[in-house]
Structure 1
Amino acid sequence: MKLNIDKLRLKWKVFAFIFGFCTLLIMILWLFQTVFLDSFYRVVKILEVKKNVNIIANNIDNKNVSDLIASISGDGETYIEISSLEGTNVVSSSNTKYKISLQDKITMISKAKDSNNDFYQEIIDSPPEKPTGNKNFIGELPPINMPPQGLTENKNFVQELPPANMKPAQSLMYLKLVKNSSGKTIAVFINAVVSPLDATVKTLRYQLYLVTGIMLILSVLLALIIAKRISRPIEEINKSAKQLASGNYDIHFNGKGFLEISELSNTLNTAAVELNKAEALRRELLANISHDLRTPLSLIYSYAEMIHDFPDEITPDQTQVIMDETQRLKTLVNDVLDISKLESGMQRLSLSKYNFTYSVKTTTERIAELVKKNVYSISFVHDKEVFICADETKITQALYNLLINAINYTGEDKIITVRQIASNGIVKIEVTDTGDGITPENLPYIWDRYYKVDKKHKRAIIGTGLGLSIVKKVIELHGGNYGVESQVGSGSTFWFELKTDKLS
C-alpha cells in the first residue's frame, strides 16, 4: 500500500524529516571515517610534505637550515636532504632509515627536468624492513641470559609478531628544485612514510558502532520532542479554526512557542473579531432592509385596502402616499442592485470629459429645490471651473448620496455646504453638515452598508441608507480618494478627490 505523505500528521512529518537528517549525518560520518579516511590521509600527508619543502626552500640560504631540517624530521619517519645537482654540499637529517638511494635521486631529477617542472613526487611501496644489529628488533628474540626490560625471573617472555596480512608502508618521495642566492640550482629531497591505516580504520569502525547506536537513540528522542513541540500549538489552532469555521466567532486562539505560530494566532484572533463584526453588521443589514421594505409595503397595502373598502372617499393625498412609497421601494431596490453590481465588478465606467463644476452646481441646486419646502439651506462654494474625465452619471450619483446623507443628519439649523477645492491637478469636493458628529471609533465603519452610529435604525428623510457604500465603490472605481472628518457636536465633512483633466 503506497503511503501518501500529504496525509500524514504534521508531528510524524517533522519526525520523519529530523530522523532522516540524523541518519544521513551518520552515513556521511561512516563514509568519511572509514571509506575515505585513507584517501584523506594521503592528501593531508602530501600537503604537509609540500608545506615542509616550501619552508626549507625559502630558508635555503639560512645558516641554520640544518636545525630546521632536524625539527621537521624529528618524528623519525621523514628523511630530508639538500644537495646540488652534482651531489655536493649535502645537508641531510640525522635519521637515515629512509634515505633515498642515488639511483632514485637521479631518476627524480631527470623526470622533473623532462616535465619542465621544479618539482616531482611519487608514492612507492617501501620494502620490508630488514633486521639490523639491534637485538630488540621486532620479531627477533633476545638472548636467553638477557631478560626483557620490565620482566622478572618468574615471567615468561612474550613477543608479539606483526600480523602476516599487514600491508607494507608506503613512502612519498618529493623533489623540489630551487635556486639559492648565487643562482645555483639546489635539490630538496623528502622521503616521508605514509603509514597504513588498517588498524586505525578498524578502531574507528568499532567506535562508530557505539556512536551510531547512541546517535540513533538520541535522534529518535530528539525528533519526537521537536515534532511534538512544533505540532502541538498548530493542532490546537486547527481545533479552534474548525470552531471558527462552524460559526463560533467568539473563539480565542492561543498559539505559543514560536514567533510564526504566535503571529498566526494573533491574525486568526483578528479575523475572528472582524468576522464577528461582519456577522453583526449582516444581521443589522437584514433587519434594517426588512424595516425599510416592510414600512412602505404596509403603507401601500393599508391605503390600497382603504381605497378598496371606500372607493367613493378616495383623496389625492391617499394616492400620493401610495405613489411615494412605491417610488421609495423602487429606489431601494435600485440602490441594492447598483451596489451589488459595483461590488461584483459588473458595473463598467463610461468615461468622458465634462465640466465637473457645472455638474456639481446643477446637482446641488436640484437637491436644494427638492428639500426647499423643509427649510433646508444648501450652498455651493467654488473658485473656478474644473473639467475631469470620468463617468458623469456615477459621479453625480456619489455626490447625490453625500447630499442625501447630509440632509438626513444635519443639525437643527438645516445648513449644508458643498465646497469645491482645486489644486495641483486634484479636485476635492467637501459636503459639510452641522449635525451631532461621529465618534472616532465609529469612523472606520460608516462606509459599510446600513451602519448606524447610534445603532437605532430610523427611516431616512429621503434616500435608502446605502448611499455611503455606493460613494465608496464609485470613487474606488475612478481611482480617487474619499474620507470623512468629524467632531462630536460640530458636524461632519464628507469628501472625495478626483484627478482633473490636464487641459482644465
Structure 2
Amino acid sequence: MKKRLDIKSLKFKLWKYFVLFAATIMIILWLLQIVFLNTYYKSMKANEIKKIGDNLVLEYGNDNFEDTIYKISFSRGIIIQILNNDGIPIFPMNVFGENRPPRIDPMAMEMFIDKLVNDEQGKTLYTTEDPRLRRPTIVYGAILKEKNGENLYLYINGLLDPVDSTTSVLKNQLIIVTIISLILAIGLSFIIATKISRPITQVTEAASVLAKGDYNVIFEKGDYTEIDNLVATLNYTTIELSKTEELRRDLIANVSHDLRTPLTLIKSYAEMIRDISGNNPEKRQSHVNVIIEESDRLTGLVNDILDLSKMQSGLSQIDYIEFDIVKTTKDILKRFLILTERDGFTFELNCDDEIKVFGDEKKIEQVIYNLLSNAVNFTGVNKLVYIDIKNLGDYVQFEVKDTGKGIPKEELNHIWDRYYMVGKSHKRAVIGTGLGLSIVKSILIAHDSNFGVDSSINQGTTFWFQLKTK
C-alpha cells in the first residue's frame, strides 16, 4: 500500500524549508538585480561623483590641480570644469583641441548657481536632463573662494548611462538561473531531508518494536552526533527495561512463593484443627500458633510492600529528631530474643553507652531491624551477628556483619533490588520478607545518608550506613 504524504513529517518540513529558502534567495536576487538595479546604479554614480568633487575642493590651489582634472575626466568619463560667475569655463584651458569648453546653458547655469548659493555648505548634487544630449546627468557643484574675494564654481557633469539593456540581459540570465536553482533546490533538499530523517525514522521503528515488549531490539547509530547520543540513551534504556522486566518476573514469582507458603500452611492447619485436633487443647493450641505466625508473616509482607511503595513514591515524611541510636538498637534486639532462645542466634553489640544522632527514629529503627533480619537469614552455621556503632565525630557509622558465605563482587550492586537473591535462588527467610534491603535503601536515600556493603567470599558480609550527629 502506497504511503500518504505526511505534511507534518520531518522529511517533508525539511524539504519545504529548503525549497522556501531557495525561493527566497531567488526573489531577493530578482529584486536587487532587476527592480532596484536602476536606483542602486544612480546612488552609486552620485556617491562616486560627490567623492570626486569633495576631493577636488580640497586639492584646489595645488600646482598640479589642472593635471588632476584631466586625469580624472579621462579615467572616469566625466566633465570637470571651473566656472566664473558668467558660467564661462576658465579651467581647464584646453580640452580636446579647443581653447575652451562650450559654455553652459544659461538656464542650467542659473539653476546651478541658485542651488549653490542656497546650500549652507556651498555644495550641491542633483540629477537633471541635459538639453543637448537629452539624457539624464548628475551635476556636482561647489563654491571655490579666491583670494580677491571672487567666487569660482567647481562644475562636474556625469552621464547616467541607461541600464535598460543591462537589465534585460540580467533578466534573461536570472530566468535560467532561477529555473536551474529551483530544480537543484527541490532535488538536493529532498535528498538531504531524506538523509537527515532516515535515522530518526529508524529510531522510531525500533522504538515501536520496544514498545511491544521486545527488549532485544538494538537502536542503530546514524551520521549525526545528536542521533548517536539519542541512540546510546535508548540502548541504555532498553537494557535497563530488560533488567526491570526480569526483576518484575522475579518479584512476582517470589512474592507469589511467599504468599503461597503461609496461605497453604494456614489452610492446612485450619483443616487439621477442624478434622483432627479440634477436641485436643494442646494440639489445637499448637496449630493455632502456626496459623497466627503465618498470618503475621503475611501481614509483614503486605506492610513491607506498602512501606517500600511509600518510600519510593516520596509519600513518606522524614521527621528529623535527635535520638540515642544505642538505645534504639537495644530495643530492637529484644525483638530477636526468641531467635536467641529458640534457635541459638547470638547478637554481639559493640558501642558506647550513648550515641546521639539526627534522623527519623521510626524509620532508622526499620533500617536496623531489616539489616539484622538480613544478617539472621544469611549468617553462618555459628549463627553469630555483629553490630558495631562507631562515633566518628560529625557522623556515626552503624555496621551489621554476618558470618555467612559472602557475596560475589559482581552481585554487590544488585542486592538492594527487591527480592534479589544471590545466585537467584529464592528461599523462605528465617525472619523478614525479602524486601528489607530495598526498604533500607529507600529510607537512607531519603535521609541523604551514605551507605554500602562490603563482602568477602566465605568471610561474611558487612552492611553499613552513616547518620549525622549535628
1:402 positional shift: 2.4
1:375 corresponds to which letter in structure 2?
A: F
- Secondary structure of the 1:355 match is strand
Offset of 1:51 from its aligned partner?
Answer: 3.1
Aligned to 1:44: 44
Using the TM superposition, name which of 47-56 and 263-272 deviates more. Answer: 47-56
- Match for 2:434: what amino acid? G
Q: Alignment partner for residue 211 of structure 1, among 167, 173, 177?
A: 177
Residues 441-488 of structure 1: per-residue CA shift (max 9 Å, x gap): 43333322112231111222211111122122223334x134314243
Contact 1:66 1:91 in 2 (8 A): yes
Q: In 1, are the aligned partners of 2:451 and 2:466 still within 8 Å (CA)?
A: no
In the alignment, does 2:18 pair up with 1:18?
A: yes
Q: TM-score, normalised by structure 2?
A: 0.84
| Distance apart, 1:278 and its partner CA | 0.6
Residue 72 of structure 1 pairs with residue 91 of structure 2: no
Per-residue deviation at 1:306?
A: 2.4
2:123 corresponds in structure 1 to 119
CA contact (8 A) 1:381 1:418 kept: yes
In the alignment, residue 203 of structure 2 is paired with which amino acid?
Answer: I
Pairing partner for 1:190 from 137, 156, 162: 156
Cα distance between partner residues in 2 of 1:182 and 1:284 = 114
Cα contact 1:386–1:422 (8 A) shared by 2: no
2: CA distance between counterparts of 1:177 and 1:356?
A: 103
Question: Counterparts of 2:316 and 2:332 in 1: how far apart (Å)?
Answer: 25
Q: Does residue 321 of the first structure (1) align with residue 290 of the second (2)?
A: yes
> 2: distance between equivalents of 1:385 and 1:189?
105
Q: Distance in 2 between matches of 1:185 and 1:281?
A: 104
Q: 5 Å matches for 1:92-491?
A: 94=95, 107-108=111-112, 110-112=114-116, 114-129=118-133, 169-176=135-142, 188-311=154-277, 312-313=279-280, 314-315=282-283, 316-349=285-318, 351-363=319-331, 365-366=333-334, 369=337, 371-373=339-341, 374-381=344-351, 385-388=355-358, 390-412=359-381, 414-424=384-394, 426-478=395-447, 480-489=448-457, 490-491=459-460
The Cα shift of 1:198 comes to: 0.8
Q: Which moved more, 1:441-450 or 1:465-474?
A: 441-450
Instruction: State whether residues 82 and 89 of structure 2, in contact with CA within 8 Å, keep that contact through their aligned partners in structure 1.
Output: no
Alpha-carbon separation, structure 2, partners of 1:446 and 1:182: 110
**CA apart distance, 1:377:** 2.5
Q: How much does 1:72 deviate?
A: 3.1
Contact kept in structure 2, 1:73 and 1:93, CA below 8 Å: no
* Matched ranges for 1:23-38 at <5 A: 23-38=23-38
2:340 alignment partner AA: K
Q: Which amino acid aligns with 1:399?
A: I
What is the alpha-carbon distance in structure 2 between the residues aligned to residue 111 and residue 271 of structure 1? 81
1:128–1:184 CA distance, 2 compared to 1 (3 A):
closer
Contact 2:393 2:469 in 1 (8 A): no
Deviations 1:213-261 (A, max 9, x none): 1112111111221122122222222211111111111111113122222
CA distance in 2, matches of 1:386, 1:184: 108
How many Å separate the matches in 2 of 1:40 and 1:383?
96
Contact 1:443 1:484 in 2 (8 A): no
- Residues of 2 paired with 1:8 and 1:457: CA distance? 52
Distance 1:66 1:330, change over 3 A: same
Classify 1:358/1:352 alpha carbon distance in 2 versus 1 (closer, same or farther; 3 Å): same
Distance across 2 between alignment mates of 1:70 and 1:233: 69
Task: From the superposition, tell whether residues 76 and 56 of structure 1 become closer, same or farther in structure 2 (CA, over 3 Å).
Answer: closer
What amino acid sits opposite 1:231 in the alignment?
A: S
Deviation at 1:439, TM superposition (A): 3.9
Contact 2:18–2:189 (Cα < 8 Å) also in 1: yes
Shift of the 209–331 alpha-carbon distance from structure 1 to 2, 3 Å rule, reads same
Taking only aligned residues, the RMSD between alpha carbons, in angstroms, comes to 3.6
Deviations 1:122-158 (A, max 9, x none): 11122342xxxxxxxxxxxxxxxxxxxxxxxxxxxxx
Could you list the per-position Cα deviations for residues 373-432 of structure 1 after superposition, in whole angstroms to 9, with x for gaps in the alignment? 3333232435963342x43222221232223223323445523233244544x5544434
Q: Distance in 2 between matches of 1:128 and 1:440?
A: 105
How many equivalent residue pairs? 456
